[in-house]
Amino acid sequence: MTDTLSTAGIPMRWVGPLRISGNVATTETRVPIATYESPLWPSVGRGAKVSMLAERGIAATLVDERMTRSVLVEATDAQTAFTAARTINARAEELRALVRTCSRFAELIGIRHEITANLLFIRFEFATGDASGHNMATLASDVLLKHLLRTVPGISYGSISGNYCTDKKATAINGILGRGKNVVTELLVPREVVDGVLHTSAARVVELNIRKNLLGTLLAGGIRSANAHFANMLLGFYLATGQDAANIVEGSQGVTMAEDRDGDLYFSCTLPNLIVGTVGNGKGLDFVETNLDRLGCRAEREPGQNARRLAVIAAATVLCGELSLLAAQTNPGELMRTHVRLERDHTTAKDEV
């Protein structure tokens, strides 16, 4: 039913270097971005340049990590669902042991549930080493679900995935309960760099962030999101590093904050749902291996450390592009002028205006 295998060659460039510090990595690195949108490269590049002019660069703090899968079971009634939920909680240790038999790397670190009518959603949370963990979590959940169906009275199969996970859908649960890496990035941009490189002021970036990212997204009916274009940087970075780029859907839900600190600009991007891995699907391709290697994410390290490094580099890349675009939008006409110029330079085709 399927054709011969070929490839879609997405234009890719390395941008930077950018400077990173924090609880995962202290490094300076260039970053690969694969995109059809050529203005993205110089945009991230400008942010990267700013990061090199700040003493600590981008401080990236990894706050949490887990991969989740929610299964769905039907119970005889709500009381039976409730009893089942309590039974499952009480048997957490047994379930943890079961997961250890599925995989060298998967570890069951949490269980949450919610009952509606006679339906019980069970959300399993796993540590998954250097893998983003979709498959590992699904496999482990499959084993757990079979076991529960056999041993907990009054429940039957509903679904291996109840959309309460949530994978590749924009929801509130991932940010509140955790899914993927939760990374906070911060950059203190000296006043003269705000002026000289970003051509704006801290006060104007702060005001724009409030009005556009916080208020504008709210009025549009956004859900747990306040940023200008996290999705663009994530897509480019994900494609270049062999990630499942459909995870930009939840990855793009994050928050940009800015403060005017006596003319210096405190700028921060929080990405609570950043899903990355250095092993797994997409990782065997030559250019992916090369890119991960060049990013220092294929080193011999404790399991999970390569993925964490990749996460903070991804998050720092997001900050660079976000900062640059917001700065541009503080100036009337700048965005359009830049786009027109850059696309003339970089692209082979564009909107026929």
Query: Which segment (90-98, 103-111, 191-199, 311-319) binds a second copy by CB under 8 A?
Result: 103-111
Residue from the set 19, 66, 181, 283 that interacts with a second copy by CB under 8 A: 283
d(CA 180, CA 174): 8
For a second copy, the closer of residues 95 and 240 by Cβ is 240
275 half-sphere exposure, CB direction, 13 A CA radius: 30
d(CA 127, CA 94): 17
Residues 50-79 that bind a second copy (CB under 8 A): 59, 61, 63, 70, 72, 74, 77-79
Residues 302-331 that bind a second copy (CB under 8 A): 329-330
For a second copy, the closer of residues 95 and 325 by Cβ is 325
Q: How far is CA 277 from CA 236, 300, 304, in A?
A: 15, 15, 9
Residue from the set 91, 168, 191, 301 that interacts with a second copy by CB under 8 A: 168
Task: Say whether residue 240 binds a second copy (CB under 8 A).
Answer: yes
d(CA 174, CA 214): 19
For a second copy, the closer of residues 98 and 287 by Cβ is 287
Task: Say whether residue 38 binds a second copy (CB under 8 A).
Answer: yes
Task: Say whether residue 111 binds a second copy (CB under 8 A).
Answer: no
What is the rounded radius of gyration, in angstroms, for the C-alpha atoms of the chain? 22
How distant is the alpha carbon of residue 196 from its chain centre? 31
Residue from the set 172, 199, 293, 344 that interacts with a second copy by CB under 8 A: 172
d(CA 135, CA 130): 13
Query: Which segment (89-97, 194-202, 234-242, 310-318) binds a second copy by CB under 8 A?
Result: 234-242
| Residues acting as catalytic residues | 37, 244, 339
Residue from the set 45, 57, 180, 321 that interacts with a second copy by CB under 8 A: 45
Contact (Cβ atoms closer than 8 angstroms) between residue 227 and residue 252: yes
Query: Which segment (91-99, 128-136, 190-198, 306-314) binds a second copy by CB under 8 A?
Result: 128-136
In degrees, rounded to 5, the angle at the alpha carbon of residue 278 between the alpha carbons of residues 232 and 38 is 25
Task: Say whether residue 90 binds a second copy (CB under 8 A).
Answer: no
Query: Which segment (90-98, 190-198, 243-251, 307-315) binds a second copy by CB under 8 A?
Result: 243-251
Map residue 92 onto helix, strand or coil: helix
Q: How far is CA 253 from CA 34, 131, 351, in A?
A: 21, 21, 28
Task: Say whether residue 175 binds a second copy (CB under 8 A).
Answer: yes
* DSSP at 226: B
Map residue 106 onto helix, strand or coil: coil
Task: Say whether residue 222 binds a second copy (CB under 8 A).
Answer: yes
For a second copy, the closer of residues 9 and 93 by Cβ is 9
Matching residue, tokens 């003339």: 344
